[in-house]
Structure 1
Amino acid sequence: MKKRLLLIVTMLFVVILLVSCAGGNAENNKNTKQATDNKGKLRFGINNWAENVAVSNMWKVLLEEEGYEIELNTLEKSPVWTGIAQGDLDIAPEVWLPITDEPLYEEYKDDVELKEIWYEETGLGLAVPSYMDINSLEELNDNKSKFDSKIVGIDAGASLMGLTRDAIEEYGLDYELIESSETAMLSELQNAYENEEPIVVTLWNPHWVFSEYDLKYLEDPKKVYGEADDIYFMTRKGFEDEYPEVVKWLNNWKMDDDSLGELMAIGQELDDPVEAAKQWIEENRDLVDEWMQ
């Protein structure tokens, strides 16, 4: 009887030991998988333009799905270039060339790696609602009373503002360029548009506002705003050697006015760029899967 009891106790001990080891192995496997899934921390340098915020959060969601930790750093244009050149940042999703970012590119081109184009033929200039009977910068002076001799601008240091000052001089425009911000400019545009009032603003595309309102650029026969830019992304030197799959995915990335406009419009609606990115990704999973091959 005692031997039988001892045998039962021994068997129970063995079972408990095996279960404990299995549990420990499962926990170890779980920890190992978590460690494997964490592929590293990538630091993005972004500026606070609507399309930049939208695509940066889109890539944050996509890369986190692949096991990377993503840090978004919002800076002005020049510090983004400096951060990439010095290796403090890994990826900058927007480089406008050959016009807008040309001074920064000339300064830093030996210390950064310019990659593929993901958006073709941007626009820069002065825009008005399509209900306005004006089509060229050369017509602005004849219509200055309609616009109260004011052009509603954005941040004082933006390249677009510098080009607009050049346009005022080149065309001899009797206008005041109002320095504000993208948010303030869009608020002025919305108020004017909803009441069908005259307004002229500094604007660029890609931008979600073109999917919301019927707008047109004023023709620029003297080409002060230059030819269309393309948008590239860039990385710090050596990044591709360390993260070849990330650069491969980003090189596959292509967007146009429809896809990018939809992403930005969802962001405006939800007022949450991460949730907007998740929604857009799920609605465009076939397109995204082509990038992530």
Structure 2
Amino acid sequence: MNKCRKELSIILVLLMIAVLTACGGTKDASNSEETESEINGEEITIGQINWAENIAVTNMWKAILEDKGYNVKLNVLDMGVMMQALESGDLDAHLEIWLPVQDANYFKEYQDTVNFSEATWFDNAKVGLAVPTYLEEVNSIEDLNEHKELFGGEIIGFDPGAGTMDVTKEVIEDYNLEFELLTSSEATMLVQIGEAVESEEPIVAPLWTPHWIFSKYDLKFLKDPQNTYGGVEKIHHATRDGFSEDYPKVSEWFKNWKMNDEQIGKLIDYVEDAEEPLDGAKKWIDENQELVNKWVK
């Protein structure tokens, strides 16, 4: 009788192990199916603008997502086309929306058709007109008209579709500046700043931090008494309608993303110094894997 009871106990234990194993297998299969349904081979298309920090973060996320099995394409667009592509669904994400001031016009126009994340990845951004520090007599936007001839009546700008360029037009109106805002590209603007500084010539341009230009040259923001440029800016991301349903994990990772001045500065340096931006981004990821793991947990 005891022998029968012992055999029955062994059988029951084996049955319980089998059931638990089956349950675990079902869970693993479910997780696998969920992952495969999100990583479906389709491209996640991220919009990129040829600004130093944007090139850096878009390549960083391309490297992170591709390491997780996603297929990522970077699509270079200007800001106006970027927002239209998000609205139409031709673009999945754009990683750089400056609020509350710089991109307020785009937020107002597209807030009902594009998902602007409440989460921010950088909380200490600044925008304003900047000049070389050796221009000791020019410290405020209000000083510019007095020194109009010094600057040739020109503010050296960049991409015409950028929110900061629109705000700079407002600055010209608010301060009644007798200046013309020139458009080009960020790369051209930075070359002109570099040439001016090396020759110790005057130049004024709309700039922002985070940006490597401030570590390379001695520049200062002009005081903005009317606060047209605003105070501290925060950088958000935006996605097309339905992105969070199609890619819930990636959507959550974007919301977890957070960087400080030192981290974004080093990332920009690595990307700028590399032959290929993606290589610089991968180098930074290797050195900051613990931080990245917190985003993609």
Alignment TM-score, normalising by the size of structure 1: 0.82
Structure 2 CA distance for aligned equivalents of residues 145 and 189 of structure 1: 18
Match of 1:168 in 2: 172
Q: Which amino acid aligns with 1:61?
A: A
Structure 1 residue 66, shift from structure 2 partner: 0.3
Match of 1:242 in 2: 246
1:43–1:89 CA contact under 8 A, matched in 2:
yes
Match of 2:128 in 1: 125
Q: Specify whether residues 271 and 185 from structure 1 end up closer, same or farther in structure 2 by C-alpha distance, changes over 3 A only.
A: farther
Match of 2:292 in 1: 288
Query: Pairwise mapping of residues 131-146 of structure 1 onto structure 2 (< 5 A)?
Result: 131-133=134-136, 134-146=138-150
Structure 2 CA distance for aligned equivalents of residues 257 and 110 of structure 1: 32
Q: Which amino acid aligns with 2:113?
A: D
Match of 1:223 in 2: 227
Structure 1 residue 277, shift from structure 2 partner: 0.5
Match of 2:267 in 1: 263
Task: Report Cα offsets for 1:162-214 as digits up to 9, x if no partner.
Answer: 32232223223232322222111100111122233222112122222123222
Q: Specify whether residues 78 and 174 from structure 1 end up closer, same or farther in structure 2 by C-alpha distance, changes over 3 A only.
A: closer
Structure 1 residue 218, shift from structure 2 partner: 0.3
Worse-matched range after superposition: 218-227 or 106-115? 106-115
Q: Does 1:79 align with 2:81?
A: yes
2:211–2:265 CA contact under 8 A, matched in 1:
yes
Structure 1 counterpart SS, 2:197:
helix
Q: Which amino acid aligns with 2:121?
A: W
How many residues in Structure 1 have an aligned counterpart in Structure 2? Answer: 260
1:211–1:261 CA contact under 8 A, matched in 2:
no
Q: Which amino acid aligns with 1:232?
A: H
Q: Which amino acid aligns with 2:251?
A: V
Match of 2:191 in 1: 187
2:79–2:161 CA contact under 8 A, matched in 1:
no
The percentage of counterpart residues that share the same residue type is 44
Q: Specify whether residues 111 and 174 from structure 1 end up closer, same or farther in structure 2 by C-alpha distance, changes over 3 A only.
A: closer
Structure 1 CA distance for aligned equivalents of residues 286 and 241 of structure 2: 33
Match of 1:89 in 2: 91
Structure 1 counterpart SS, 2:238:
strand
Structure 1 CA distance for aligned equivalents of residues 236 and 120 of structure 2: 4
Task: Report Cα offsets for 1:249-272 as digits up to 9, x if no partner.
Answer: 111111122211211122222242
Match of 2:151 in 1: 147
Structure 2 CA distance for aligned equivalents of residues 194 and 154 of structure 1: 20
Structure 1 CA distance for aligned equivalents of residues 178 and 260 of structure 2: 36
1:155–1:181 CA contact under 8 A, matched in 2:
yes
Match of 1:44 in 2: 46
1:125–1:203 CA contact under 8 A, matched in 2:
yes
Q: Which amino acid aligns with 2:92?
A: D
Structure 1 residue 63, shift from structure 2 partner: 0.3
1:208–1:262 CA contact under 8 A, matched in 2:
no
Q: Specify whether residues 137 and 278 from structure 1 end up closer, same or farther in structure 2 by C-alpha distance, changes over 3 A only.
A: same
Q: Which amino acid aligns with 1:100?
A: Q
2:80–2:161 CA contact under 8 A, matched in 1:
no
Unaligned runs of 5+ in 2: 1-31
Structure 2 counterpart SS, 1:95:
strand
Match of 1:8 in 2: none
Q: Which amino acid aligns with 1:109?
A: Q
Match of 1:12 in 2: none
Structure 2 counterpart SS, 1:203:
strand
Q: Which amino acid aligns with 1:279?
A: K
Structure 1 CA distance for aligned equivalents of residues 69 and 294 of structure 2: 18
Structure 2 CA distance for aligned equivalents of residues 55 and 274 of structure 1: 10
Structure 1 residue runs of 4 or more that deviate by more than 6 Å after TM superposition = none
Q: Does 1:274 align with 2:284?
A: no
Structure 2 counterpart SS, 1:83:
helix
Unaligned runs of 5+ in 1: 1-31
Match of 1:28 in 2: none
